[in-house]
Amino acid sequence: MMKWSDAWLANVDCNGDNKLDRGLVDGVPSGTSMGWLTNHVVGDYILDGNVQNYTDFVKIVWTGSGSPLWGQYTIIQEVWNDPAGGLNGLYSKIGAPGFGLNDHWTTLP
């Protein structure tokens, strides 16, 4: 399941191009997704004839040019849970809780 802010991908078409707007800030689309996104994956697989369950949760935020993910974004938190695979709990986390821009990331142009 994915969730995102309007600054990532809005649920409106303000510029009339028949597409949902990216980077919508104060009603003006920038064309670049400049907000946050979460992706929560839940699944299962077969290992040695047994069904195994796993989850993966990721928080991604826009951090501007030169960032490590796709050149514009940063993964600020990832949680894996796959007991059969030996993965359990927090995989990585940088920054404070939440999604907002702050002095540690960037500011809007």
Between 56 and 19, the more confident residue is: 56
Range 51-56, long-range pairs (CB < 8 A, 24+ positions): 52/82, 52/83, 52/84, 52/85, 53/82, 53/83, 54/80, 54/81, 54/82, 54/84, 54/85, 54/87, 55/79, 55/80, 55/81, 55/82, 56/80, 56/81
Residue 63: the pLDDT is 85
The answer to whether residue 7 scores a pLDDT higher than 60 is yes
Distance, CA of 14 to CA of 50 (rounded, Å): 50
Distance, CA of 18 to CA of 71 (rounded, Å): 26
The answer to whether residue 2 scores a pLDDT higher than 70 is yes
Residue 107: the pLDDT is 46
Name the average pLDDT for the chain.
Answer: 84
Residue 101: the pLDDT is 53
The answer to whether residue 46 scores a pLDDT higher than 90 is yes
Q: 24-25 and 50-67 as β-strands: parallel, antiparallel, unpaired?
A: unpaired
